[in-house]
């Protein structure tokens, strides 16, 4: 007796297909006529498929599938053409902002300035919070989806420093209700080698974990806290972080709330770590990724990591959210005063974080991963503009925005898996069959070839902006040349 899987009722085929990811849905739809008909006729399957191909997931808005599919396609078209619906100018400011889920927060002359950006459900509004109770305020990070701002204070004491992390709400500047210990996490750094030079620390957020780190006098410090329980998960002043070298500056970035990376310039490596977000312990070194091999005396002199915030929960009011593993990490690297950009998806690193049955850190040379799982580009710094790796580049999810040396044009790179038929004529696709080839010059041992697929679209901008930000539905431009204007372009 023979049986045919495609002969199943279409309703059952649809139920099977909606349990698959986008690539599996596509392969199934191309395998036979029955599967293709189910794929073509079910809007629910189309919605799931197109979400995945855009590196997105449903945010649980409860809207009908027809409406969600229309919103998704409208949003995709807007990003493929950079056709914005509105432009709003925010009063001039010299603040340096952090962004998160529709909010800008910046250090103002008398405290923290918070700007709620316009959306389909709210108008722009601004509030100010005083931080006069923190005379030694140093740095901050925000997570708008948790109404959370964490402010770092470093208090100088005799032969030591007291580090305090104040966990407050963005909306009221009061102690966050989910924080422990009255909203304040504290630790004293007593080792003289660290404390004497400890004047500045940066802070990062990933859900319920906060990281604070910096490097002074050749010493690297990393502190990991669970801000909801108050547990100090790791303190590199007391415990040794497994790594070939920690006596130089390292660049930190979260992969998710239980994993992070450290990028090291001179050795040309990216170190990947796994840790528990609930139990104190030494992070586990799971992999070391090599960068393109360099010629003698051509080691990297500087590196910086830029990525969008890790966001495991949807922004209120938004129908979609980026898949956390689709985040793109951008590495800005200098070799012999020549600047390069390296783009890598989180999923490449997380594959080693989630690997089982491996007892030692894996050595992953560039030849193993670089060509297929990254894009490596030389930065154009002609025209008197030297991109510094912070203001001129910004990221959100799978998208990266950057400016050009003429300061009149922007470009958005999208590293999602979007299919060609949904793209715009002005959006250029660079597939694995269209590699980026960086000449070796005097820097590398051979030409650097990379093939990670992406889309690129550019557009001329008014004024001469010198800094950019991007989120799911906006491009934010800072023009500090004369008026310090902030312009918000809503797509």
Cβ atoms within 10 Å, residue 325: 16
The DSSP element (H or E) to which 67 belongs, if any, is helix 65-81
Which residues are bridge partners to 412 per DSSP? 401, 457
Quote the pLDDT of residue 421: 44
In a domain, residue 449? The reply is no
In a domain, residue 43? The reply is yes
How many CA atoms lie less than 13 Å away from 219 in the CB half-sphere? 18
In a domain, residue 98? The reply is no
Contacts of 214 (CB under 8 A, 6+ apart): 198, 200, 201, 202, 220, 221
In a domain, residue 178? The reply is no
In a domain, residue 417? The reply is no
What residue numbers bound the domain in which 12 lies? 5-81
Q: What tokens were used for 171?
A: 């909306």
In a domain, residue 26? The reply is yes
Separation between Cα atoms, residue 193 and residue 362, nearest integer Å: 32
In tens digits, the chain (491 residues) has pLDDT values of 345 555 666 667 676 777 777 777 777 767 777 777 777 777 888 888 888 888 888 888 889 989 999 998 888 888 989 988 888 887 766 567 788 888 888 877 678 888 888 776 678 888 888 887 777 777 888 998 899 999 888 777 777 778 888 899 999 989 999 998 788 888 877 665 555 555 567 889 999 999 998 766 567 888 999 999 999 999 988 888 887 665 567 889 999 999 999 998 878 899 999 999 999 999 999 999 999 999 988 888 888 899 988 888 888 788 888 888 899 999 999 888 888 999 999 999 999 999 887 788 899 999 999 999 999 999 875 543 344 445 578 899 999 998 877 777 889 999 987 654 455 677 888 999 999 999 999 999 999 999 999 999 998 888 777 788 898 888 988 876 655 678 888 88
The model carries a pTM of 0.90
How many CA atoms lie less than 13 Å away from 113 in the CB half-sphere? 17
Cβ atoms within 10 Å, residue 4: 8
State the total domains in the chain: 1
Separation between Cα atoms, residue 72 and residue 67, nearest integer Å: 9
In a domain, residue 21? The reply is yes
In a domain, residue 46? The reply is yes
What own/partner pairs with CB < 8 Å and gap ≥ 24 does 366-371 have? 366/289, 366/290, 366/291, 366/292, 366/293, 369/289, 370/290, 370/291, 370/292, 370/448, 370/450, 371/435, 371/449, 371/450, 371/451
């Amino acid at each position: 007796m023979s049986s045919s899987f495609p002969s199943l009722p279409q309703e059952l085929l649809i139920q099977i297909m909606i349990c698959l990811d986008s690539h599996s849905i596509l392969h199934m739809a191309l395998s036979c006529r029955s599967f293709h008909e189910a794929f073509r006729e079910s809007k629910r399957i189309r919605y799931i498929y197109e979400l995945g191909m855009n590196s997105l997931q449903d945010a649980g808005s409860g809207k009908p599938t027809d409406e969600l599919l229309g919103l998704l396609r409208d949003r995709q078209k807007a990003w493929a053409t950079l056709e914005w619906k509105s432009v709003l100018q925010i009063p001039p400011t010299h603040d340096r902002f952090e962004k998160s889920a529709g909010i800008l927060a910046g250090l103002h002359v008398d405290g923290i300035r918070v700007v709620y950006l316009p959306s389909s459900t709210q108008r722009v509004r601004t509030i100010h919070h005083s931080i006069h109770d923190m005379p030694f305020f140093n740095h901050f990070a925000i997570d708008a989806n948790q109404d959370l701002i964490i402010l770092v204070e470093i208090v100088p004491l005799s032969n030591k420093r007291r580090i305090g992390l104040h966990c407050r709400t963005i909306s009221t500047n009061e102690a966050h209700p989910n924080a422990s210990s009255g909203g304040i996490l504290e630790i004293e750094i007593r080792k003289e080698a660290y404390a004497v030079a400890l004047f500045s620390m940066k802070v990062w957020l990933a859900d319920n974990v906060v990281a604070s780190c910096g490097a002074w006098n050749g010493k690297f410090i990393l502190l990991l806290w669970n801000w909801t329980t108050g547990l100090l998960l790791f303190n590199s002043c007391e415990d040794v972080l497994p790594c070939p070298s920690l006596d130089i500056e390292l660049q930190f970035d979260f992969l998710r709330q239980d994993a992070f990376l450290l990028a090291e310039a001179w050795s040309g490596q990216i170190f990947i770590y796994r840790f528990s977000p609930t139990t104190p312990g030494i992070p586990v070194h799971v992999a070391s990724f090599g960068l393109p091999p360099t010629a003698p005396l051509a080691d990297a002199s500087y590196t910086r990591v830029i990525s969008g915030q890790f966001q495991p929960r949807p922004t209120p009011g938004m129908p979609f959210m980026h898949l956390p593993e689709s985040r793109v990490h951008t590495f800005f690297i200098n070799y012999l005063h020549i600047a390069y950009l390296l783009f890598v998806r989180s999923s490449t690193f997380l594959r080693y974080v989630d690997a089982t049955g491996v007892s030692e850190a894996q050595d992953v040379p560039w030849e193993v991963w670089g060509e297929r799982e990254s894009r490596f580009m030389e930065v154009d710094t002609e025209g008197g503009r030297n991109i510094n790796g912070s203001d001129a580049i910004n990221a959100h999810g799978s998208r990266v925005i950057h400016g050009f040396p003429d300061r009149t044009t922007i470009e958005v790179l999208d590293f999602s898996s979007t299919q060609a038929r949904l793209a715009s004529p002005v959006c250029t696709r660079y597939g694995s069959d269209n590699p980026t080839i960086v000449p070796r010059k005097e820097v590398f041992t051979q030409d650097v070839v990379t093939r990670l697929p992406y889309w690129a679209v550019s557009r001329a901008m008014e004024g001469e902006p010198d800094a950019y930000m991007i989120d799911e539905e906006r491009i934010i431009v800072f023009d500090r040349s004369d008026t310090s204007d902030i312009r918000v372009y809503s797509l």
